[in-house]
Amino acid sequence: MNKLSLVKIRPDQNYVAYFLTMACNLRCPYCINIHNGGLRHGNASGKKMTPGEWIRAADRLVLRDDLPLTLQGGEPTLYNGFYKIVSEVKRSIKMDLLTNMSFDVDEFIANVPVWRFKRKAPYAAIRASYHPGQNDIETLIKKTKKLQDAGFKVGIYSVLHPSSKVSGHILKIQERCARLGIDFRTKEFLGEWNGSIYGTYRYDGAACGKTMKMCECKTTEIIVGPGGDIYKCHSDLYGNRDPVAHILDGDLTAAEIGTFRECRHYGKCNPCDVKVKTNRLQIFGHTSVEIKNVRGL
Ligand code: SF4
Ligand code: SF4
């Protein structure tokens, strides 16, 4: 087994995400994992790290108090070893979880230490997504209540789709959750719908662009796919291309991940990476990547 140096996350690095699996038990038609033709199912069946490898990968991190390790996917709780990881990683690592909450809530409560998902933050550490037509809001509300009663901080999130029928439904659910003491937040719809592009983007033509270009790109995030590869951005992750390093490389440094690198996929950027958004401190105006020197292929 190779010796791993500690990876100290820099002050300008805002997000550390381990995508335990791309597999999911829902089939949302707009799934971000298949954005721009990426292969969700192809990725789901590719190489995967073992629970022991994920634990080593998490144990080598040195995170700031305000920066958790986010477990996501796909549906991360489908990963066989999810409970082992959340229980056995060193205690100083706090985690966030992005989930569709399809897991068995009693099993979750019995196997997940509450402290792992407990820290001071302006949003819940466990963020469940509500996908109308895919998961049932009554079940989500019941599970959220049960988790709250067990001491977990849980929020439900839903994308405010431009269709007035869907957004009207979501806003009604939000009002109902407020009455029930449940933190229900909406997220901006990003991408194309009915011929229009939604979202505020820092770089013209980077997401949903008509022409592919070259550029240099630097990320503020550490994005690790199911096989342990580290990617520059979500577009590379979902497209399964151009990893920059591996999370179990012995001498990996955070600085090496956050440097400008050549990219030939400007135009195919994932909206999440180039939109202007709120950072972890809830301050608006942040973009996950910095792009320069855009030019024709
Ligand atoms: S729950 Fe998330 S990962 Fe699963 S299909 Fe829906 S959008 Fe995709
Ligand atoms: S330019 Fe776009 S596709 Fe290329 S690395 Fe940056 S965010 Fe990813």
Ligand 2 contact via 235 beta carbon (within 6 Å)? yes
Under 8 Å between Cβ of 272 and 190: yes
Residue-wise pLDDT tens digits, 45-83: 578 999 999 999 999 999 999 999 999 999 999 999 999
Q: Which residues of 26-58 are buried (b: 16+ CB within 10 A; e: fewer)?
A: eebeebbbbbbebebeebbeeebbebebbbbbb
Residue-wise pLDDT tens digits, 81-110: 999 999 999 999 999 999 999 999 999 999
**Site residues for ligand 1, CB cut-off 6 Å:** 24, 26-28, 31-33, 74-75, 100, 129, 131
Under 8 Å between Cβ of 17 and 54: no
Reported pTM? 0.94
d(C-alpha 99, C-alpha 191), whole Å: 22
State the fold for domain 7-198+226-250. Answer: TIM Barrel (3.20.20)
Query: Among the atoms of ligand 2, which is closest to the Cα of residue 288?
Result: 7
